[in-house]
């Protein structure tokens, strides 16, 4: 097999990706690309990033054998990559530390970010505080309401949270608004995109910063069990935690890569957020990828119990991995994710994020179809503290 | 000669800058769109820029966002917009019509299919905000093969190299975004425009229009003194928002008429 070296110089993953933005942003994106290429070769930058990941984020994160979960599922052994143990509680901080260091290198003192569940907003506010930068976070007003603990955390960290009232008032609209801010303040401002979407170089850069997850696993799994897993499972909204764990496994062809999208009420109902499972290719937010859209090319509203997966697009590299067959994409419904959430709480003493619960849900489906000596590695991308209000409401528990 | 080229040739002979009003198709209503196009012509529009509504208009400020949302609520599709242009052409064969919008509705229709249907409807130029030159090779070929002018944006942040690239690709005219920001933003930097325009015109063998941030007669006149065309969008949509079906015609006639006078006064020597 030819060595995997995507994207190409113009940011394309086969027919996907690219730079579909208004002219005003083109120069900012080429400056960003040049700055990012420069730090790739810069030993001092890489050493600083490694130091921050170790001492500020708390890496490497452990891999944990979920023994009781495995017994419950009956079949393949299930291991969890504990990204929930990172500082700020999710994989998102791997990327924000990287981009904030890059922003500092570029002399930008104001950072902006979009957020859905609030995890990326918290991770951005955290690094802004850490490096003494101004931070503005755009968040759909619907999400502000359903993720209030994270809104408070961002404010504690000194960030300004701007509720976005346009469109569907969720993640996609927050991204639109952040782009509008960036166009207006392009010289002073660094836009930290939180997922592997957006125009080139973001899908590549966010993947690279998150690829520390898979890099660790490729070393940790042989240490624990003497070999690589048979399957790696991760949830996919925009797809940053999935690309983070998949990327270093792409050359390990015996390892299946499985992305789990938000099935909402069920893919067949149309009320979901699963563009790879049930969408078609189009252009949104600066790149060509699979989208949830109607036949006239308008983006349609998505539905998921988890705000972090409630996005109508997906990173272009996932679109490419799907078409090329290297990765498989499935969906887990709200109910399946919630069931997995409660099960992981009780069986392992781990409260997972609702996003990550989608990956756990699929592991529970897949494990019984596999042999007991086979191994599934799940990226447990975040912890569930932020979801307590949502879950208690759905479970009828009064806090 | 294309309608756009003819319009600019006539304006050049008359030593006038073009006035290009913009509004979103389907706003305030589907029925009002074609009559509004005729009103704009009556008020002195040289070219009409018709917005194609999109669910995620990233380059637009709140005014055009709202217009887009209202149009989408009335189920205005790209197909519907082309029908409106067809209807407009039944009684106007000369005023050029430029569609402005985003890539995805066109992708959904298919580029080739769109270009053929747009030409048949009587569209003259197409400006797709999120198809910049680097992603436009196939796009430019397709629209030119269907006798449409691909209109491109340039911005204060565009490098000299990109200006050259746009000069090679574009036809019809080139649209200079007069500020760093979204449509309808508050302040136009007149001195920046006055300084940049002659340098663009020296390199680009096409008329250069200016838009984003032109809100009144004074800013229209200032831009008309240096540019080949003046594009006004958000201000017109605000007038539409403030009108009733009964007052719409008169209010747009008055506003655009005033802009027309301002644009023409700028070139009086």
- Distance from C-alpha of A362 to C-alpha of A370, rounded to nearest angstrom: 13
pLDDT tens digit sequence for B193-202: 999 999 999 9
DSSP string, B140-194: HHHHHHTT-EEEEEE-TT--HHHHHHHHHH--S-EEEE-SSS-BT-S---HHHHH
What pLDDT, on the 0 to 100 scale, is given for residue A2? Answer: 66
Q: What is the pLDDT of residue B182?
A: 84
Query: Is A114 annotated in the active site?
Result: yes
Among A52, A114, A216, A336, the active-site one is: A114
DSSP H helices in chain B: 3-13, 30-42, 62-73, 78-91, 103-109, 111-121, 137-145, 160-169, 190-203, 217-224, 234-241, 248-265
* A298·B180 Cβ contact <8 A: no
**Which residue, among B257, B237, B224, has the nearest Cα to B100 in the 3D structure?**
B237
In 3-state terms, what secondary structure has residue B76?
coil
What's the residue count for chain A? 399
Tokens 């910063």 belong to residue: A209
Q: Is the pLDDT of residue B189 over 90?
A: no
Asked if B154 and B166 count as a contact pair (C-beta separation under 8 A), the reply is yes
Name residue, tokens 């000069």.
B167
Rounded to the nearest integer, the mean pLDDT of chain B is 95
pLDDT band at B1 (very low <50, low <70, confident <90, very high): confident
Give pTM, 2 decimals.
0.96
**Chain A residues with CB-CB distance to B52 below 8 A:** none
Distance from CA of A335 to the nearest CA of B (A): 29
Q: Which residues of A310-321 are buried (b: 16+ CB within 10 A; e: fewer)?
A: bbbbbbbbbbbb
Confidence (pLDDT) at B129: 97
Pairs of residues, one from chain A and one from chain B, whose beta carbons lie less than 8 Å apart: 123
- Identify the H or E element spanning A366: helix A354-366
pLDDT value for B268: 60
Residue B122 has pLDDT above 90, yes or no: yes
CB–CB of B104 and A176 under 8 A?
A: no
pLDDT in tens, chain A (399 residues): 568 999 999 999 999 999 999 999 999 999 999 999 999 999 999 999 999 999 999 999 999 999 999 999 999 999 999 999 999 999 999 999 999 999 999 999 999 999 988 999 999 999 999 999 999 999 999 889 878 889 999 999 999 999 999 888 889 999 999 999 998 998 999 999 999 999 999 999 999 999 999 999 999 999 999 999 999 999 999 999 999 999 999 999 999 999 999 999 999 999 999 999 999 999 999 999 999 999 999 999 999 999 889 999 999 999 999 999 999 999 999 999 999 999 999 999 999 999 999 999 999 999 999 999 999 999 999 999 989 988 998 888 877
pLDDT, mean of residues B74-99: 98
CA gap A22, A235 in Å, rounded: 31
CB atoms within 10 A of CB A309: 32
Q: Using alpha carbons only, how large is chain B's radius of gyration in Å?
A: 17
- Numbered residues of chain A with Cβ closer than 8 Å to any chain B Cβ: 10, 18-24, 26-28, 166-167, 172-173, 176, 179-180, 183-187, 281-286, 288, 291, 293, 295-300
- Kindly report the number of other CB atoms within 10 A of residue A180's CB atom: 24
**pLDDT value at B269 more than 60:** no
Determine the 3-state secondary structure of B63 from DSSP: helix
Mean pLDDT of B224-234: 96
pLDDT at B70 over 70: yes
pLDDT of residue A146: 79
As a whole-number percent, the residues of chain A with pLDDT over 70 amount to 99
How close is the nearest chain B Cα to the Cα of A139, in Å? 15
User: Using an 8 Å Cβ cutoff, are A132 and A145 in contact?
Assistant: no
Tokens of B267: 């070139």
Mean pLDDT of the region B88-116: 98
Task: Indicate the DSSP class of residue B92.
Answer: -
Average pLDDT over residues B6-32: 97
Sign of the CA dihedral running B193, B40, B99, B102: positive
* Distance from C-alpha of A109 to C-alpha of A95, rounded to nearest angstrom: 18
């Amino acid at each position: 097999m030819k060595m995997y070296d995507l994207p190409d110089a113009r940011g394309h993953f086969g027919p996907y990706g690219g730079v579909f933005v208004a002219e005003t942003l083109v120069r900012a994106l080429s400056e960003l690309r040049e700055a990012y290429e420069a730090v790739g070769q810069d030993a001092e930058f890489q050493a600083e990033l490694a130091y921050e990941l170790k001492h500020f984020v708390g890496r490497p994160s452990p891999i944990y054998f979920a023994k009781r979960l495995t017994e419950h599922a009956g079949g393949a052994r299930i291991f969890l990559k504990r990204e929930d143990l990172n500082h700020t509680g999710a994989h998102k901080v791997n990327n924000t530390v990287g981009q904030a260091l890059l922003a500092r290198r570029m002399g930008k003192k104001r950072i902006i970010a979009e957020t859905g569940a609030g995890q990326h907003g918290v991770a951005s506010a955290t690094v802004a505080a850490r490096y003494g930068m101004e931070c503005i976070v755009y968040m759909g007003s619907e999400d502000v309401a359903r993720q209030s603990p994270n809104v408070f955390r961002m404010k504690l960290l000194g960030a300004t949270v701007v509720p976005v009232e346009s469109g569907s008032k969720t993640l996609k609209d927050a991204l639109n608004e952040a782009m509008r801010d960036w166009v207006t303040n392009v010289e002073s401002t660094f836009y930290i995109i939180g997922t592997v979407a957006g125009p080139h170089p973001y899908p590549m850069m966010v993947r690279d910063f998150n690829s520390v997850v898979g890099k660790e696993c490729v070393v940790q799994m042989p240490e624990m069990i003497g070999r690589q897993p048979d399957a790696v499972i991760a949830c996919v909204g925009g797809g940053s935690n999935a690309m983070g764990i998949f990327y270093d496994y792409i050359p390990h062809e015996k390892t299946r890569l499985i992305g789990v999208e938000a099935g909402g009420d069920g893919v067949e109902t149309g009320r979901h957020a699963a563009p790879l499972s049930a969408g078609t290719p189009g252009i949104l937010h600066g790149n060509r990828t699979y989208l949830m859209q109607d036949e006239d090319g308008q983006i349609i509203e998505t539905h998921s119990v988890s705000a972090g997966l409630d996005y109508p697009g997906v990173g272009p590299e996932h679109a490419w991995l799907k078409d090329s067959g290297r990765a498989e994409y499935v969906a887990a419904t709200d109910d399946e994710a919630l069931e997995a959430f409660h099960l992981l709480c009780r069986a392992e003493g781990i409260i997972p994020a609702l996003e990550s619960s989608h990956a756990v849900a699929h592991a529970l489906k897949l494990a019984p179809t596999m042999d007991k000596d086979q191994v599934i590695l799940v990226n447990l991308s975040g912890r569930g503290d932020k979801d307590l209000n949502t879950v208690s409401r759905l479970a009828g528990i009064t806090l | 000669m294309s309608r756009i080229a003819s319009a600019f040739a006539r304006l050049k002979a008359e030593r006038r800058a073009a006035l290009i009003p913009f509004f979103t198709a389907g706003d305030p209503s589907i029925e009002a769109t074609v009559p509004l196009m005729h009103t704009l012509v009556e008020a002195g529009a040289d070219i009409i820029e018709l917005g194609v509504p999109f669910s995620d208009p990233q380059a637009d400020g709140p005014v055009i966002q709202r217009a887009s949302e209202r149009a989408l609520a009335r189920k205005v599709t790209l197909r519907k917009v082309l029908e409106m242009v067809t209807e407009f052409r039944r009684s106007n064969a000369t005023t050029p019509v430029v569609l402005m919008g985003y890539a995805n509705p066109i992708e959904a229709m298919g580029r080739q299919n769109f270009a053929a249907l747009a030409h048949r409807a009587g569209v003259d130029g197409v400006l797709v905000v999120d198809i910049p030159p680097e992603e436009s090779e196939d796009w430019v070929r397709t629209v030119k093969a269907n006798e449409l002018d691909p209109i491109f944006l340039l911005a204060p942040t565009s490098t000299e190299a990109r200006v050259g690239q746009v000069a090679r690709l574009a036809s019809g005219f080139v649209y200079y975004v007069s500020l760093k920001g979204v449509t309808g933003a508050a302040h136009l930097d007149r001195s920046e425009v006055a300084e940049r325009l002659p340098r663009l015109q020296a390199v680009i063998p096409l008329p250069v229009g200016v838009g984003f941030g032109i809100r009144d007669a004074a800013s229209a006149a200032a831009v008309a003194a240096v540019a080949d065309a003046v594009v006004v969008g958000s201000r017109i949509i605000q007038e539409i928002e403030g009108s009733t079906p009964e007052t719409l015609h008169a209010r747009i006639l008055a506003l655009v008429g005033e802009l027309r006078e301002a644009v023409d006064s700028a070139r009086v020597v």
